[in-house]
Amino acid sequence: MKSDLFPALEDIVFADKSADDIESEIITLYEGISGRTLAKGDPVRLFLEAIILVIIQQRALIDYSAKQNLLAYAEGSYLDHIGALLNVTRLDASHAMTTLRFTLSDIQPTLIIIPEGIRASPGGGNILFATTESVEIPAGERYVEVTAQCTLAGTQGNGYIAGQIRRLVDPFPYEMTVANVTESYGGTDIENDENYRERIQEAPESFSTAGPTGAYEYWARSAHQGIIDVAIIGPPEIPPGNVNIYPLMIGGDMPTQEILEAVYDVCNAEDKRPDTDFVHVLAPDPVEFELNVSYWIDRKRATQAAMIQRAVEEAVTGWVTWQRSKLGCDINPSELNHRMVAAGAKRTEITSPEFVVLEPQQLAVMTVKTLTLGGLEDG
């Protein structure tokens, strides 16, 4: 299947795999050579139909294999090999991070060392968070905070709110408690095909230093596999010599400070940044809106009302996700109306939001959602 990254490219077919076309071609060829017509139950026809099934499978395999040499169609390991041609490797899964606070039951008269690698768990599974460095609780102090990393890469370490990670796993000579003071975040699975495909397409931009917009986009996206979009703002919008970089995370999430620092470290490296550029990495500017929509269902489809309601709700959720999946995506109620009608709504009344044009670094963020079924209407 062709990627949505290349909407202007027409679909290409390397081998026709239509069962009807192949059957017609083979039967016609045989009848022309033999000079006899094959009836439906003719043993020769039955034999040829068995061969036709093999030919269809081979044609499908030929078509698929050939497409895996094209960036628009390649997937999995095939895409990895295309990336290797441009020295672009798929980003590995990353580990979720959090901040742990270790608290002594009693203040001690001597310095206490919390070693690197001591682990804490939310309990009830194999999720563990290990400290990334050794820290000290000074004499007379009660607690210390330290960054900890999930021992398993991937998204399973995300979302543990403050206080959930409170079970100390490793033995310690002093009685103390542990708890996370920040929600765990930043864990991502191995980079998906679409994100990787887009970075491969942008790879030629990296052959230059990060002066061009495309080069900054490429290096910024390379900083973390959770970055789904990047906006680059330079002169004349901002003073000469400055570059503002706005990364957006998967799901429309705002980047954490750690992500911003990671992007800065990559894009500000001496071998990537022109000497005359001052790099600034910032979170996108949120543009908040309220969603207040009513819709009606055609009375003729009353028996399908429950199914239509679910479809409309999914359409609205999809629209909200679409709005947050790209920076600078205008707040577009026309697209919302289109999706709701396509899902089965007879008509809609969108009280809010109104159409709003966004700047490249802005992100549409819904704050309130009110979706009301107005009832059935004659159509």
From residue 200, give the alpha-carbon distance in Å to each of 6, 56, 73, 83.
13, 33, 13, 6
Provide the residue ranges of all domains of the chain, joining segments of one domain with +. 19-73, 95-180, 193-283, 286-377
- CB atoms < 10 A from the CB of 198, how many? 18
Q: What is the pLDDT of residue 144?
A: 95
Q: What is the pLDDT of residues 289-325, one digit of tens each?
A: 999 999 999 999 999 999 999 999 999 999 999 999 9
Q: Does the structural domain 193-283 have CATH classification 3.30.300?
A: yes
Average pLDDT over every residue of 222-251: 92
Q: What is the pLDDT of residue 315?
A: 96
Indicate the SS3 state at residue 363.
strand
Q: What is the value of pTM for the model shown? A: 0.66
Q: Tell me the pLDDT band of 208, cut-offs 50, 70 and 90.
A: low
Residue 173 above 90 pLDDT? no
Q: What is the pLDDT of residue 258?
A: 87
Q: What does the radius of gyration of the chain's CA atoms come to, in whole angstroms? A: 29
Q: What is the pLDDT of residue 291?
A: 96
Indicate the SS3 state at residue 336.
helix
Angle in degrees, 0-180, between the axes of helices 213-221 and 257-267, rounded to the nearest 10: 130
Q: Tell me the pLDDT band of 7, cut-offs 50, 70 and 90.
A: confident
Out of 70-79, 112-121, 160-169, 197-206, least confident range: 197-206
Helix (H) or strand (E) holding 287: strand 285-298
From residue 158, give the alpha-carbon distance in Å to each of 127, 169, 183, 232.
10, 19, 8, 28
Average pLDDT over every residue of 313-342: 95
Helix (H) or strand (E) holding 291: strand 285-298
Residue 209 above 70 pLDDT? no
Average pLDDT over every residue of 333-341: 96
Average pLDDT over every residue of 334-358: 96
Per DSSP bridges, beta strands 176-180 and 119-121 are unpaired
Whether residue 236 is preceded by a cis peptide bond, meaning omega within 30 degrees of 0, is yes
